[in-house]
């Protein structure tokens, strides 16, 4: 069986690059308490790695022409 299972921290780091299935909390050898587990079901259709990690945060730059101009100048 080909299966990739990751923890909650790794799931957050991948942004929206992958589709996950919640496997619930499990007791894992070497870890204290219950840990959240996620099954990686496949990739999403994100256009780039940047988009996959940031999702729809591009709207945060709307109306910030002055700030964008400063960034481009530098």
Under-70 pLDDT residues of the chain: 46-62
Q: Number of C-alpha atoms within 13 angstroms, CB side, residue 57?
A: 8
Residue numbers of the domain that contains 49: 5-73
Number of domains in the chain: 1
For residue 20, give the nearest of 10, 32, 31 by alpha carbon: 10
- Quote the pTM value: 0.58
Round the average pLDDT of the chain to a whole number and report it: 80
| Residue 58: per-residue pLDDT | 53
């Amino acid at each position: 069986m080909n299966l990739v299972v990751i923890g909650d921290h790794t799931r957050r780091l991948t942004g929206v690059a992958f589709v996950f299935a919640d496997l619930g909390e499990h007791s894992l050898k070497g870890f204290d308490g219950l840990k959240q587990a996620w099954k990686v079901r496949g990739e999403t259709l994100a256009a780039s790695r940047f988009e996959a990690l940031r999702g729809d945060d591009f709207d945060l730059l709307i109306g910030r022409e002055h700030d964008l101009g400063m960034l481009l100048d530098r």
